[in-house]
Every structure is written in structure tokens, then in C-alpha cells.
Amino acid sequence: MTNKIVLRGKIAVKGLAEGSALVTNESIHFLGGVDYKTGVITIRNHELEGKSIAKKILIFPAQIGSTGEPMGLYFLIRTGKNPRAILCSTRGQMPVVSSMVAGTPYLYNLDKDPVKIIKTGDHVKIDANRGIVEIIKRNEI
């Protein structure tokens, strides 16, 4: 039995993506906070330190950093270690610019906070052309 949840959000960057969720309650910055050769988060004492964002649906409250952030995501794309899509609780200028440069689907301001609804390992399907997120909850025993 699967538990499917549908959320709707605002579109920042259009596109389609699906995959396994990687969720954090902490902010992330791509330039200097993620090793672009491995996709591994290198931010000291971050709850996801040592975990890879490569090919994941990355879900976090907000991005931190400056105008170098698009370059960080671009480096990740060049090495194939980028996330498939980004969901944020709030819209910030740098994550939108980063996603636009990378062509990474990006939704924000969903009708429910994705950080609270989605858990790491859930299967997430994003239609950022229509602003829809489908979540299939992982089976928990």
C-alpha cells in the first residue's frame, strides 16, 4: 500500500524531474558547501554533512550564499553531481538564479512545507511546468 501526497507550488524554473528525496532543515550553499567533484555536502556540522546531493530531489528551507551560487551549481552539473530538482520552502534570489543557469526544475512556496511533509528516501515526482509535486511515501516499518 502506498501513501501518495500531492502538493502545489509556485514555479520558479520549469521542467520535469523525479527521484529519491534528500531533505534537510538546514540551508545549503552550492559554492563551497558542496564538493562539485562528488556532490557531497561539506558544510561542517550540517545535518547532511557527508551525504551526496547527486541525482536527488533536494529539499531544504532556503539557500544561503551570494552571487557565486549559480557557479557552484554549474560546476555540479559539469561533473554530473547536481540534484535533479530543488524544492524550497521559500523563494530566494540565488536559488532561482542558480536553477535557471542549471536548467534545474525549481518550485517554492508549496501549499504545505515540503521540509515537513517529505522525508529523505520518499519518491518525488515534480512537474514544474504545472507547479505540481507528487510524493510517494517510503514504506516505513
Catalytic residues: 66
- Strand stretches in 85-130, DSSP E: 85-88, 106-108, 123-127
Q: Angle formed by the axes of helices 69-78 and 93-102, to 10°?
A: 30
Write the DSSP string, 9-54. -EEEE--EEEEEEEE-SS-B-SBTTB-TTT-BB--TT-TTTT-B-T
Q: How many Cβ atoms from other residues are within 10 Å of residue 3's Cβ?
A: 11
> Rounded to whole angstroms, what are the CA distances from 93 to 55, 120, 128?
23, 25, 18
